[in-house]
Every structure is written in C-alpha cells, then in structure tokens.
Chain A
Amino acid sequence: MFAPWADPAARPLVRFDGVSKRFGTATAVERVSLDIFSGEFFALLGPSGCGKTTLLRLLAGLEMPDDGRILLDGAELTTVPPYRRPINLMFQSYALFPHLTVEGNVAFGLKQEALPKAEIASRVDEMLALVRLEGFAKRKPQHLSGGQRQRVALARSLIKRPRVLLLDEPLAALDKKLRSETQFELMQLQESLGLTFVIVTHDQQEAMTVAGRIAVMDHGRLVQVATPQEIYERPTSRWVADFIGEINLIEGSVTEVGRSGTVVASAAGRLRALSPADVTAGDVVWVALRPEKVRIALEPPPVEGENCVAGQVADIGYLGDLSIYKVRLDNGIIMKTAVANVTRLVERPINWDDRVWLTWSSEAAMVLTR
C-alpha cells in the first residue's frame, strides 16, 4: 500500500517547517509543520477563512512566510520567486487570461520556457485532448461554460508537468453531479501522470473521496493530518469529530480504565468505549459516537453488557438512502442515529414519539479528551 508518511526513511517532496504568515495583526497560518510526499493526493480541509488558500499561496511563492521555511526536495524554496518554482497553481477563480484563446491560455506556461513551436503545439493538443476540449482551442474563455473554464484552468496548470500541482477549490463552481465526475477524473489523472496534487476544499466529502491524506485546519493551525479513514474513525478532538461528518458527543467522567475499554459515567448512564492510552479515572472526557454505528430498536435488547440507552423519537429525517432518527433520551440528551433504508419504505416501523432503545458496541464509541 502507498503510505510513505508511515515510513520514517521516506524523504518528503515538500516540507513546511514551522511556517507562519500574518496579515497585519491577523494570523492566517500559524506554525504549520507538514510533510507531503511525492505521488500523494493531499487535501487541505477546513472552514472558510482558516488559511487554506494562504498555505497554497505560500507554496506557490505568491506569499512570503513571516516565519519558518518551506523545502522542496530538501532544498530551500522560500527564496525562489514564483516563476522559478516547479509548482503550478490552479486558482480558485481560474484566473484565465481573457485576451487569449483557450489554446493561448494553455500554451502560456510552455511559451515562457522558449520551447520549439512544434513541441508547444503538440503538447497543447495533447493537453486539450486530455481535458476533452479539442473543439474549443480557438475560443476565448468568456465564451465557455463554467465547467469548460475549469478544465482550461486545469490544463493550463498541468501542461508544465509541475512537481506539485496545487488546486484551490477547483470544483467549487460545478454542480454536484459534474463535481463527483470531475473528482474521479482528477484522481485518475493524478494516478496516471504520477503527479503530486495538493487540493484545497471545504467540502469534507470531496476531501474524503479524492485524497490519500487530509490535513484538517482551523484558525491557521493544523489540527489533524491523517488518512480519511483515520480522521473519520479516530478524530483527535471534538472539533475534528464534529467537522467531519455527524457525531454524537456525550460528556462524562472516567470511572474505570480497563482492558475491555474505558467506562465513562455520564448523564446517559455508564458508557463503555475505546479510549486513548492517556486517560485516568476522574478525567473529564467526551464519548463520541457516529450516528450510523448506533442501532435503534422498539424493544429493549435481550442481553445486557452492551451500551444501551432508552428514549423517545423526537424527529425523523428521510434522506432517501438513509433515515436519521433524533432520539430524546430520558435525561434530555438528543442522540442521532442513521439507519440505511435497505428495504423499500412501505410503512415506517419506527414512528414519532415511539419509545426506542439505542445500542452500540464499545468499539464503536471513542473517548475524546479535547
């Protein structure tokens, strides 16, 4: 499996080393240290204004860091001007040249290298074929649809075969269907060309779909860098757990740390969950539980031992593939559970105000200390 980040001997392609960037008094990027490896599809994920674009612009050379260093292949990159970096950026706004045709836009980067005309022409054709824009070479960007413009921007930033391709919310302007198609195209492209992609997005589903690793950012800091599975199943903080997907959080205090898991005393009763090694009895913690890992039933479970709470159905949301039940526990806590609609809905077996029992295994829940 491709996982160079797990290999201590692997050399990173890009290294951020304690990089900070301030605009006036506001800190956009704060002491970011991050390694990105060759061949990775890496995603930067975070809420609006958390510094994702700034981090990309630092790497592209369009901003200078106030602190720290950026290395490419172990060599100092901070002092290299943007036009000499083997890194290309696909801009959030595409930034296509309005006075040039599609062809002129795509060829722009190669023309700066003073390559022979014939080579430029053949590589432009090749690139236009790759993004399926062969018939549009002579058009101006103003006369293209949003999706076509986005492909021109992609072609323009790919044609120089950059060591790292930076994509700033490349798919934000596309509708849902086109976006998911393009996500797969991007993944195929990245794999077949063997390039390193860094994509910025604030759409967590997009990050999970395309990326091999995700860096979750908040207020200019990296909060967690890991694979999508790990971020989803083992978030390191309540903030990450809440930002990625849906989560039930129940506050409590640790009463017992044992081999079979940790016992947490909470308003919902004694809950058993997996926990990090460093909790001790008395710690204030949160039990985190994904809705789809909770089972819902109209009868109490026959066997004791699992986590079980009872409550009343407060709300039902039908999403087509899933139904979301919001259950008000006897102590007032609201818990969400998601149930896959595997059979066609003829008659909903669980209804508003029904008394229900929620159960989950102790492996399904996590204990978070932050």
Chain B
Amino acid sequence: MSKLEAQRSWGERLILLVPYLWLAAFFLVPFLIVLKISLSHTAVAQPPYTPVFDVAAGWSGVIRALSTLSLENYALLGSDSLYLASYIKSLEIAAGSTLLLLLIGFPIAYGMARAPRRWQPVVFVLVVLPFWTSFLIRIYAWINILQRDGLLNQLLLALRIVDEPPAWLSTDTAVYLGIVYSYLPFMVLPIYATLEKMDETLLEAAADLGCPNWKAFWLVTLPLSRPGMVAGALLCFIPIVGEFVIPDLLGSSQTMMIGQTLWAEFFANRDWPVASAVAVVLLCLLVMPIVIYEQVQTRDLARGG
C-alpha cells in the first residue's frame, strides 16, 4: 500500500468514525445513563435516586454502587396493569394511525408523482407547508375546531347531520385525527420519492404485455413503491408510539399512551427509576420493527443474489 493510499484510508476511517462518535455521544451514553437509573432505587434526594456513583471513593465506590442495582422497577412494570395497558394503547394507536396514514398518504403521494412536472414543486410545497407553523399552534387550532361549540360541530349542525353536538375532544378519534394530520408529510414524502423515480416505461411494458392500467398499478406500481411505504411507516410508527403532546391535548385521561405515563412518572411522581424502566422497555419495543425490517431486507437481497 502506498503512503498516499494509507493516508487516504486513514482519512476515510476518520470520516466513518464521525457517525459512530455521534451515536456514542448522543445515543449510547444517554441510554446507558437511563439504563443505570432504571436499575436504581427512588430516594428523596438530589438527584432523586440511589446509588449515585461516588467518584471520590474511587474504584471501590463504583463497585459498591453497582452491587446495589436491581431489577425491581422492571418487576413493577410487570405487576401493575397500568403500564401494560399503556403500552398496548400506544401500540394500538400507532398501528391504527400508521395504517390510516398509509391509506391516506399513498393516494396523495401518487397524485403528486402523477401531477404535471411543472406543478410538482407547488404540490410539494403544499405538503410541507404546515411545518411553517408551530406544531403546538396547529394542535391548539384542532382543539378549537373539535370543541363542543367548535367549527366541526357547527358545520355538522348546519348540515343537519347531527341534532346534538357530539363530544370530539378527549376521545380516541381526536387523537387519531391529530396524529394523522401531524404525521401525514412523513408518510407522503418517502412514498412520493419512490413513486417519482419509478421508471414509467415499466408501466408501458406492462400495458404492452396485456395488462390494463388498473392491474399494472397492483402488479408494478404498488410492489415498486414498497420501500417508500416501509420507510414512511417506520418514520410514523416509531415516534407515534412515544407521542406525548397530541394524546395529552386531544385525548382522554382514561387510558394514557406510554409517553403520558412516562411524563407522569418523571414529573408528577418524581420517580426517575420507574420512568427510566418505562423508557428502556419502550426502546426495546421500538427496535423490534426495525430489526424485522432489516431481516426482511437481507432475506430479499439473499433471494435476489
């Protein structure tokens, strides 16, 4: 290997190191801290848990602290049905709204990709335009619309669709509505990206081989847009599971989503160890779909080769 190559490969290695350093600094280290707290005990102290690593006591202090760690907080999560209900509720809402997002997002992305070339930038801007307004303001706007005497009920009454104004706020419907509304661009854009770069001659080839347009959609367009749908689904599902603001502002306080439970443990109960345990379990739940997706992809690759 020449000197130049050696230098370059060092440079390359350094560049490759950057994302790992980033992950280590902003993901791994915080995660280890949370993991450690989840194994600690609540205490009326600052910070509100024990043990705290006693750096002054040296190595033996660290050993002593580690020896008192326990899994009791995880046991609590298992024994109190509140947590389980919370997890299930979160997964249910995330799965349901991801499905809704797919059903609504796909036609929008398809329409965008099929729009005349010169209109595409305009449509694109329209889809991302909501981001120009603060997320909180948009959710507060929904509260206004969904109130008992809000715009939605006024419209329904005016059109004589209902006689009594139904309650929308503090229902799951409102949560679904808020989530689908907020996350739609995250579903539309990846699907649009795959549809947009799809080779149109493939559809012509399908037609040439005896396939009417609607069938070509099922046999060609849909399978080819799968990567976009998977990316959109992951991009929506994962943050929705941990969603806090939308269910807190639009949903009921009956069953909480896991983000709300987490918030309550941290700030209302000041129980950092249990809150950390909730977060660790949540993370494990969220890693699962990604791992499954990776598995599917490697299997596909293996089959192709």
Contacts and interface: CB of A to CB of B under 8 A. Distances in A.
A83 B208 contact: yes
Given A98-B224, A99-B223, A140-B304, A83 B211 contact: yes
Interface string A82-102: 111001110101011111000
Nearest to B200: A95
A99 B207 CA distance: 17
Interface in A130-160: 138-140, 142-143, 156-157, 160
A89 B304 contact: no
Nearest to B198: A98
A347 interface: no
Interface string B201-227: 110111111111001000110011010
Dominant SS among interface residues on chain A: loop
Contacts of A140: 304
Interface string A281-321: 00000000000000000000000000000000000000000
B207 A88 contact: no
B12 interface: no
A62 B204 contact: yes
Nearest to A92: B201
Contacts of A62: 204, 207-208
Contact of B208 (A60, A93, A98, A143): A60
Given A139-B304, A143-B305, A109 B210 contact: yes
B164 interface: no
B210 A112 contact: yes
Contacts of A119: none
A113 interface: yes
B199 interface: yes
Contacts of B207: 61-62, 81-83
Given A99-B224, A140-B304, A83 B201 contact: no
Given A83-B210, A83-B212, A112-B209, A97 B220 contact: yes
A96 B226 CA distance: 17
Given A140-B304, A142-B304, A143-B305, A97 B208 contact: no
Nearest to B211: A112
Given A95-B201, A95-B202, A98-B224, A143 B304 contact: yes
Interface residues of A, number: 29
Contacts of B206: 97, 108
B296 to A, nearest CB: 14
B204 A95 contact: yes
A140 B201 CA distance: 18
A99 B225 CA distance: 10
Contact of A108 (B201, B209, B226, B305): B209
A113 B215 CA distance: 12
B210 to A, nearest CB: 4
A84 B207 CA distance: 9
A139 B206 CA distance: 20
B221 to A, nearest CB: 10
Nearest to B213: A83
A87 B210 CA distance: 10
13 contacts: A60-B208, A62-B207, A81-B212, A83-B212, A88-B209, A89-B208, A93-B199, A95-B204, A97-B202, A97-B205, A97-B206, A112-B211, A113-B210
Interface of B: 199, 201-202, 204-212, 215, 219-220, 223-224, 226, 303-305
Given A83-B207, A97-B202, A108-B211, 16 more contacts: A60-B208, A61-B208, A62-B204, A62-B208, A84-B210, A91-B204, A93-B199, A93-B201, A99-B223, A112-B210, A112-B211, A112-B215, A138-B303, A142-B304, A156-B209, A157-B209
Interface of A: 60-62, 81-84, 87-89, 91, 93, 95-99, 108-109, 112-113, 138-140, 142-143, 156-157, 160
6 nearest A-B residue pairs (beta carbon): A112-B210, A109-B209, A95-B205, A140-B304, A95-B201, A82-B207
